[in-house]
Amino acid sequence: MIRMASGAAGLVFGCLALWLPAQPALADAAMRAVTGTLTYAERIALPATAEVVVEFRGRDGRVVASERAVTEGRQVPLDFRLWVPAERAGAFVGAVAIDGETTWQTEPVPVQAGTGPVDLGEVRLARVAEVPEPAPAPLPEPEVAEPEVAPVVPEPEPEVAAPAPEPEPEVAAPAPEPVAPEVRELRLMCGETEVRATLRDGTAAVMVGDVSIEMVQVPAASGARFEVPDDPETFLWLRNDRALVGLAGEVLPECEPATD
């Protein structure tokens, strides 16, 4: 909306008559005239103090050129001529103010860029209550050549690797069956004394007559030696096919395998 106030407030305009404006001092190539008439449909007379305001606004909505004049009893239609910069696009807005308040106003009228004069013809004024707050006027967009668009080449589908075969579950080997310890039976003759021995898993069960003696294997320089724990003088010492037997410190004659 064009805001007006009496005196110097509001928009600043030159006090040139709208009906017989003087041509600007600039060269014709720099300015051009925008002409037309302002009118409204209501049969309402304007007071002699009514002011007519015309503006040319740039694409950003800022006022580029403007003029105002008191009607001094003139009624619509009201002729206007406004000098604006050449080669500049914008929008024309006209208004009528009474007692400093805008009463009638036009919609923004687009003006194309160019050098020649522009005749807008009859431009309708509307009651301000009927005119929305003016935003920058929509201006024709300059023609822009559409860029050439290269044809879209579809991208090749990515190769999807076949899923790797799942590894066969490892099957634990069956535990080996326990091996029964090797048992060795001996029957020896140590002179006139018969000695029997059962060898099993590092132990020796020795029978001398009716006496049973339990022995365990101990390290030996040669052959296999078995002793009674805590009594090393009671032993069975096997060497090749011969043997020695000690009983509580008494060593029997050398033993040989029994033949019968």
Q: Return the pLDDT at 242.
A: 84
* pLDDT tens sequence across 189-213: 898 899 999 999 889 999 998 889 9
Q: Cα(235)–Cα(218) distance, rounded to whole angstroms?
A: 10
Q: Which residues, in sequence order, are CB contacts of 230 under 8 Å at separation 6+? A: none
Least confident of 12-26, 41-55, 239-253: 12-26
* Residue 227: φ, ψ to 5°: -135, 160
Q: Return the pLDDT at 179.
A: 66
Residue 203 token pair: 């132990």
Q: Return the pLDDT at 9.
A: 28
* pLDDT tens sequence across 121-137: 999 999 987 545 555 55
85 CB-contact burial (10 Å; exposed 0-12 / middle 13-18 / buried 19+): middle
